[in-house]
Amino acid sequence: MKPVNETLGRYADAAVCVATSGGWLQALKILFIGLGSGGMLAWGMLDQAREAPSLSLGELVALFTLVGGFLGGIAQLAEA
């Protein structure tokens, strides 16, 4: 019975290690997308606050949508 207990113990330790790694990767993904989207949104707000913005509001929304999709795609590619 002792070899079975040792094997199950090693299996449990490996499962905890994998779950922890997955949690860190998910946290980094959220941070990456959040910072990228937040930076884009901050830049857009500063641009719109200018006297003569370089982008219209519609262009800003379209750009924000494209950047969000791009960051999401990069995050999915990093997981693969």
Identify whether the C-beta of residue 33 lies closer than 8 Å to the C-beta of residue 71. Answer: yes
User: What pLDDT is attached to residue 16?
Assistant: 93
User: What pLDDT is attached to residue 78?
Assistant: 74
Does the structure show a pLDDT above 80 at 14?
yes
Distances (CA, A) of 71 to 16, 24, 59: 29, 18, 18
> Is the pTM for the entire model greater than 0.85?
no
CB neighbours (10 Å) of residue 60?
19
**What number of residues does the chain have?**
80
Q: 70 falls in which pLDDT band (50, 70, 90)?
A: confident
- Domain containing 60 equals 2-79
Per residue in 17-66, pLDDT tens?
Answer: 999 988 898 888 888 888 888 888 898 889 888 898 888 888 888 888 88
Distances (CA, A) of 47 to 20, 43, 52, 53, 57: 40, 6, 8, 5, 10
Number of domains in the chain: 1
